[in-house]
Amino acid sequence: MPALITYRTTVQEDWVDYNGHLRDAFYLLIFSYATDALMERIGLDADSRGQSGNSLFTLEAHINYLHEVKLGTEVWVQMQIIGFDKKRLHLYHSLHRSGFDEALAASEQLLLHVDLAGPKAKPFGEFSTNQLQSVVDSQRDLPTPAFTGRVIKLPI
């Protein structure tokens, strides 16, 4: 199975800057909606969050802006799980458009499963763990994405 397509949208007028390009913040918004879609898939949808009191918090996110995205462009997010343990989830999102083979942007994210009553870290439940493992198993043959494990620094 290739990376999952978790979110599709068209770049809206209020998302673009004075150059007609998608504003920085809206890349993260699009990736955030893609994470929401994954949450639904693994049993952390709005109803489940309300009943269990569990959710995901973003601990860290890196975005690589690779190609410009303009007003009206239909884009989609492909998601790959890099790994997970009992409380954390390491994700990779890439943004794509039709007719262009390369990713437009990439976001590596580290998420924490939490009990909202604390809030405090809490292990994933059995259903979520099984769903995450199923996705990992289906993506086993995918290569490690190019924009993971990067550090921001000036070359010396």
In a domain, 154, yes or no: no
In a domain, 40, yes or no: yes
- Judge whether 111 and 25 are in contact, CB under 8 Å: no
Predicted pLDDT at 1: 46
CATH number of the domain that 72 lies in? 3.10.129.10
Residue range 26-45: mean pLDDT, rounded: 94
In a domain, 155, yes or no: no
Q: Is the pLDDT of residue 39 over 50?
A: yes
pLDDT digits over 67-83, tens only?
999 999 999 999 999 99
Q: Is the pLDDT of residue 104 over 80?
A: yes
In a domain, 91, yes or no: yes
In a domain, 23, yes or no: yes
In a domain, 31, yes or no: yes
In a domain, 76, yes or no: yes
H-helix segments, 5-150? 24-41, 46-52, 126-138
- Total domain count for the chain? 1
Predicted pLDDT at 2: 64
Structural domain boundaries, residue 66: 4-138
